[in-house]
């Protein structure tokens, strides 16, 4: 693909981890250099790095930061589990976090006979591999999604499932970048995504950087835009897909999907197979992170609600499978009923 038009979310260079501080976008481009698993945990929890694939990548590097200074084999195994459990606690909803940490641990466990220094290198090598693979996965997702699109279409997005949420090109935004390369003129409508405004601060920012036709709208304008006939498809990412095809994504996705169904608009979910959780039967079982009330009452430092007002602030919601037209992974397209297709895609990845 062409040069990436926006800053990279995660950089590993000269044995150092650098994360783009997405809390400061779109007005400032600042990288944080992290040296400890505690700083990685904080970056994930405070949304300095966000997006399911990106936090999985960051956590894998964070696991290496936690074990690279250990001096004995006993300490290595003890710290490997402790640091992995600790990092996994940062955000409970995105399954990529536990997936990446488990993958690194499983890789190390399969090489237990190696020396201490070799085991440390295996941890780092697996983190790098997760990082590198994500770019390929996203491109394949984009190619598969592109088969549903054509020049001139209007696309509605919610939250940010673009390059800033992954290693490079994103999941839901990958087909939009590919369409740009083909010379297509897609018209993107980006929901602002209350209360943290990932659509406004991040999606609108990176699409504008790529010279893609993007219009920012408030979340409560999605229905009007659909009614006008300006939207032919909704494409969103996901933090976890349950075994039955229920999809967990940024709060507000459920509302968008219900509106889309009412207006006869297809809803496509861009999902790397690492986001498919066959151990979770339905969306009702997915743990939903609840965040600080200040995100709503005093967003970005300005009080906009009465003091001590009660607040409900879930970071995610679950869209039932009946509202999803197709789940698109790097391995292809899954349509309802989703259960068998999801299993096939996960097992295909394991076999490869």
Q: What are phi and psi of 277, to 5 degrees?
A: -115, 95
51 is in an annotated binding site: yes
Nearest alpha-carbon partner for 49 in 13, 7, 102, 104: 7
Cα-to-chain-centroid distance, residue 128: 18
Q: DSSP letters of 284-322?
A: GGS---B--THHHHSGGG---S-TT-----BSEEEE-GG
91 is in an annotated binding site: yes
52 is in an annotated binding site: yes
Residues 179 and 336: their CA atoms lie apart, in Å, by 26
Q: What's 6's DSSP letter?
A: S
Nearest alpha-carbon partner for 151 in 179, 178, 173: 179
Beta bridge partners of 234: 156, 267
249 is in an annotated binding site: yes
Contacts of 47 (CB under 8 A, 6+ apart): 22, 23, 196
Our answer to whether residue 239 is catalytic in this structure is: yes
Residues 102 and 286: their CA atoms lie apart, in Å, by 18
Return the structure tokens found at 219: 């979340």
185 is in an annotated binding site: no
Residues 188 and 176: their CA atoms lie apart, in Å, by 9
Beta bridge partners of 269: 236, 327
Q: Which of 191, 219, 239, 246 is catalytic?
A: 239
Q: Which residues belong to the active site?
A: 239
**Which residues belong to the annotated binding site for substrate?**
50-52, 91, 198, 249-250
């Amino acid at each position: 693909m062409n040069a990436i038009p926006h800053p990279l979310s995660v950089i590993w260079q000269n044995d150092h981890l650098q994360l783009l501080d997405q809390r400061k976008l779109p007005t400032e481009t600042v990288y944080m250099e992290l040296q400890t698993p505690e700083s990685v945990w904080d970056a994930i929890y405070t949304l300095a790095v966000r997006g399911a694939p990106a936090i999985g990548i960051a956590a894998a590097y964070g696991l290496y930061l936690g074990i690279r200074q250990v001096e004995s084999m006993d300490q290595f195994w003890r710290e490997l589990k402790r640091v992995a459990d600790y990092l996994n606690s940062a955000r409970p909803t995105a399954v990529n976090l536990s997936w990446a940490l488990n993958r690194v641990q499983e890789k190390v466990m399969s090489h237990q006979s190696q020396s201490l220094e070799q085991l440390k290198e295996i941890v780092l090598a697996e983190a790098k591999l997760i990082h590198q693979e994500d770019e390929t996965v996203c491109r394949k997702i984009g190619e598969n999604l592109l088969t549903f699109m054509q020049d001139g279409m209007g696309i509605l997005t919610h939250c940010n499932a673009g390059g800033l949420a992954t290693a490079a090109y994103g999941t839901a935004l990958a087909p939009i970048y590919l369409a740009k390369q083909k010379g297509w003129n897609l018209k993107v409508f980006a929901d602002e995504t209350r209360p943290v405004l990932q659509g406004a601060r991040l999606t609108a920012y990176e699409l504008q950087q790529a010279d893609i036709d993007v219009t920012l709208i408030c979340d409560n304008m999605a229905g009007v835009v659909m009614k006008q006939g300006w939207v032919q498809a909704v494409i969103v990412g996901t933090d976890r897909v349950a075994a039955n095809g229920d999809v967990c994504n940024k709060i507000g996705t459920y509302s968008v999907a219900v509106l889309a169904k009412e207006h006869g608009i297809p809803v496509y979910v861009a999902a790397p197979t690492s986001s498919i959780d066959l151990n979770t039967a339905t969306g009702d079982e997915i743990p939903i992170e609840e965040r600080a009330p200040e995100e709503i009452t005093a967003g970005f430092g300005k009080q906009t609600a009465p003091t001590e007002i009660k607040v409900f602030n879930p970071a995610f919601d679950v869209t039932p499978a009946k509202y999803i037209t197709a789940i698109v992974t790097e391995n292809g397209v899954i349509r309802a009923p989703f259960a068998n297709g999801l299993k096939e895609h996960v097992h295909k990845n394991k076999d490869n």
